[in-house]
Structure 1
């Protein structure tokens, strides 16, 4: 596939072919818990971001294939921050809706104030400050607008807070006032446990209600967001039930397939159904691409599959048990000619000029006091805060979007002490990361490679070499479960510092949590004050899975 260059202006053009071909995932890398809504001929999609900032990216598409990030829902520290939170806490499972000229996003700020709603007349933002919903106790809230009424549906506790088994949850609903942004009346329980509580189903969550014809459908995930993940469907003649489960549930899962099959897609679920440009139904959902067993470093990604209606029940991916890496549909592709590619093979350079690309992520909040953007690139002050804490270190990351990829940067930095370090990291969590950096050791300038250590709450030195220059190019290369680390003083004349470093250390299975890995630019004075700074010229990314 041709490699594309990142630029920052959007020009929309109609492709000549009448058939579109989707490449899964449609949003590669750490883009979990997708929610999608259709407004006229436009589609808008949001994802979870946990403790990264800005929170909840907003994507736009005309064809469900070509997506451009147009903003972020949580883009101001005055809305909220995640200081003190672990990387995999923060914002869980947003849902986006549109009603009478207004866009709504509901979401959960876990461990804190809980569920909230924000609104905007423009999906690109700015979005309002959050309105908290204290009565909505649980996670994964979403809205449903039904003629003159609205409802908020969500995952909640077991009846009377007395679970019959681990993972016993319910789906509940309130009527909702979309003008005053508050619940109305009493809470109702729609689902207890799952589609068949006698089988002890776990983690019924991510619910969405929609209407088709005379039926109201409740679509939800079940089984937990790992290898047993699935999607189930229930229906009723009323929005508030009673709901009857489809006898052939689940309507999507990969849990019964051979785990040793070639190039598997696993853990599929958390789906939302949407009408495509051809009038047919499509499912947008999360899944993962393990390189071995249940090991994957790219996090939970956004996939698409067709939906077939059988006896007024929707079946996701009806023609194959396995989710496919590509699907075709009979409608025209609408390309965002200059937008960043999100699926397939691609390459781009992020330049630092007057503003950040909206896909770049900080840890927990945005503090513009420690960085500067100008013609020379990105200058970052060395903060005493490290990525091993729960604050806001001098860190800016982009998602690893391919199993086979590389990220590189040009760094200008002169360390003064051995506490001062600047470079590039591949980061999954507070202690599951590798850090290739320039520093000082025994009074001499060096390049170092570190590995996070959860037991000692520190970093272990893996490799070191003398390096006296101020300018250096740094590169991290990923190949499934192996990572290679390079440096050079001349572009494309790479010298290997360390090869075949264990990539499983960065996987969700080892590191835990709900996020994927990020390539990050990172500068720190390691707990001591510093007036030093580091300059990064650019960040290159190249991905080649296909």
Structure 2
């Protein structure tokens, strides 16, 4: 009998979806990713076949769970771990510079989830492991750089209270940044798996095993996942999690980056999927510089019986959002916890309304911003903005945002009682006005286009004839172009409004948001 291979496309979660963690409940798979300064936090996805992922919500969606109002970009929520045990889902993570390590629980992964239960030890990247004897362990990263290692201790899962002192169980392979540790029990052996080398060109996934959950762990002498030694369109592979399916097959989800020729990516770290094979010595293998993790994958089978395997993931957004539903679609996210009254879908039916706060895009605070992850290098985003009765200094528009130090926007603003359309480029913390033109209109069409080299910022008064006001290079919006503080996020495209130093008097209304993928436009 001929077995026909099944194809699927990587990444399975395109755009800024790093540090994936996965679990299975029956025939359903669930996955979460890091979200850093964005709120609601920790997007959660569901799939039946590991390829087509549908976002079903966010784990942390209430102020009582998470307060990001003072968090700088690339702080906030790091590396969650998702686990399912005995009818309950658990998500454990770190609120960096906040409440530290904690977990939340639910019986319904679509939510609501509980308020945080704190755990006492560990730096970042905590993971939960439920052993056969009923014991529950927290395994977490501790230390920095070459001193980075994994600690472990037992907890009371009902309260988070430690039942044992933390013990160092894993120091990795001698490289820096031993992170994202996960403990598993497979065929009677305990495996500890972690990233090493830092989340860039030397990134890799390593593994050890032992007859005891506390080790000592025998280190497998080679990475089980890395592309650090080969030229390949996918780089930075690591920070993986394992899951088995209903057929007894094993899989890994992990982060990777699709670098352009100049060695950067505005999309940031994305989520990839690959099959796991077990060698004769009982070690799991994914891709140690073999190049088997590709953009186009072929496997013998996938779990479930899907009607089809799409050429692109369900989590990909394309088309038009008319804001005609009572809630924002799950793909939208705010910059930190939004201020009360700063946004609405009901103030003007069929429109998304933002009321500018005193903070702007260069500030750390409650900025009136709501956006979606950029998921393709070549794309175009359009909207219709109405911004009527406002005071001098107020502005609103559409923005390509990496963080406070890097963003491009095209906007409508009032100065000296006159309306102006402007294009602004912020690179490495310095903002420059690319162009500004007067208009006699309260309603304008705005557009951002991108390709491999950069972004263009355009406007139209009729939606047909477009005038480009500015253009900016792509690399300054990439995580690789940070100056003083490492950047862990990719670009989001979204709406914003600001009073530039004081709360705005008027509201900015956006009628729709349209994404067109693969548009060819000279930047």
Give RMSD over aligned pairs.
2.4
Question: What CA deviation, in whole Å up to 9, does each residue of 1:291-329 have, x standing for no partner?
Answer: 133311011100011111102001103793352002133
Give a deviation string over 1:66-93, Cα, whole Å, max 9, x none. 1111111110011121111111000100
**C-alpha displacement at 1:335, in angstroms?**
5.3
Map 1:229-268; keep pairs closer than 5 Å.
Answer: 229-247=203-221, 249-258=222-231, 264-268=233-237
Larger CA deviation: 109-118 vs 446-455: 446-455
CA contact (8 A) 2:427 2:476 kept: no
Q: Distance in 1 between matches of 2:76 and 2:518?
A: 31
Matching residue of 2:38: 52
Work out the number of aligned pairs and report it. 508
Bigger mean CA offset, 149-158 vs 401-410: 149-158
* Residues 505/455 of structure 1: CA separation in 2 closer, same or farther (3 Å cut): closer
Structure 2 runs not aligned, ≥5 long: none
Shift in alpha-carbon separation, 1:435–1:496, aligned structure 2, 3 A: same
Q: What CA distance in whole angstroms lies between the structure 2 residues aligned with 1:344 and 1:532?
A: 34
The SS at the match of 2:396 is strand
Which residue of the partner structure matches residue 104 of structure 1? 90
The TM-score, its normalising length taken from structure 2, stands at: 0.92
The runs of at least 4 aligned residues of structure 1 exceeding 4 Å deviation read 332-337, 343-346, 453-456
Which residue in the other structure is 1:182 paired with?
A: 161
Following TM superposition, by how much is the alpha carbon of 1:465 offset from its aligned partner in structure 2, in angstroms? 2.2
Instruction: Kindly provide the CA deviation profile for residues 368-421 of structure 1, in whole angstroms up to 9, marking residues without a partner as x.
Output: 412221324112112222122211111101100111111111111136444111
Match of 1:272 among 223, 226, 241: 241
Alignment of 1:3-402 (within 5 A): 20-134=6-120, 136-147=121-132, 148-157=134-143, 166-192=145-171, 194-195=172-173, 197=174, 201-247=175-221, 249-258=222-231, 264-310=233-279, 311-317=281-287, 320-321=290-291, 323-329=293-299, 330-331=301-302, 342=313, 347-353=318-324, 354-374=326-346, 375-402=349-376
Note if contact 1:24-1:325 (Cα within 8 Å) is conserved in structure 2. yes
Tell me which moved more, 137-146 or 313-322: 313-322
Matches of 2:75 and 2:316 in 1, distance apart? 31
**How far apart are the structure 2 equivalents of 1:461 and 1:308?**
54
| 1:486-544: CA deviation from partner (whole Å, max 9, x where unpaired) | 21123343332234x21111011113410010001001111134311111011111223
Task: Give, in angstroms, the shift of residue 210 of structure 1.
Answer: 0.9
Separation in 2 of the partners of 1:306 and 1:514? Answer: 26
How far the C-alpha of 1:214 sits from its partner, in A, is 2.1
| Structure 1 unaligned regions, length at least 5 | 1-16, 159-165
Alignment check: 8 A CA contact 2:409 2:457 kept = no
The answer (yes or no) to whether the contact 2:14–2:316 under 8 Å persists in 1 is no
Secondary structure of residue in 2 paired with 1:390:
coil
**Paired residues of 2:387 and 2:443 also in contact (CA < 8 A):** yes
Of the structure 1 ranges 435-444 and 169-178, higher mean CA displacement relative to structure 2 is found in: 435-444
Alpha-carbon distance in 2 for matches of 1:545, 1:303: 24
Distance 1:336 1:124 in 2: 23
Whole-Å separation in 1 of the counterparts to 2:20 and 2:464: 38
- CA deviation map 1:422-450 (0-9, x unaligned): 11000000120011001134543221001
**Which residue is equivalent to 1:10?**
none
Answer yes or no: is the 8 Å Cα contact 2:39–2:61 preserved in 1. yes
Work out the CA distance in 2 between the residues paired with 1:140 and 1:401: 25
The reply to whether residue 490 of structure 1 matches residue 462 of structure 2 is yes
Greater displacement, 92-101 / 489-498: 489-498
Partner of 1:540: 514
Partner of 1:436: 410
Change (3 A) 1:19 1:256: closer
Q: What SS class does the counterpart of residue 531 from structure 1 fall into?
A: coil
Quick one: distance in 2 between partners of 1:224 and 1:358? 30
Report how far residue 469 of structure 1 moved: 1.8
**Counterpart of 1:163?**
none
Query: Larger relative contact order (C-alpha < 8 A, sep ≥ 6)?
Result: 1
State the secondary structure of the residue aligned to 1:239.
coil
Measured in 2, the distance between the counterparts of 1:293 and 1:254 equals: 17
Greater CA deviation, 222-231 or 143-152?
A: 143-152
Stretch of structure 1 that moved more, 459-468 or 216-225? 459-468
**In structure 2, C-alpha distance between the alignment counterparts of 1:187 and 1:442, rounded to whole Å:** 62
Q: Which residue of 1 aligns with 2:441?
A: 469
Q: Distance in 2 between matches of 1:412 and 1:376?
A: 13
TM-aligned CA distance change 1:98 to 1:209, over 3 Å = same
SS at match of 1:167: helix
- Give the Cα separation in 1 of the matches to 2:323 and 2:257: 31
Specify the SS of the correspondent of 1:182: coil
Q: 1:25 to 1:343 in 2, by over 3 A?
A: farther
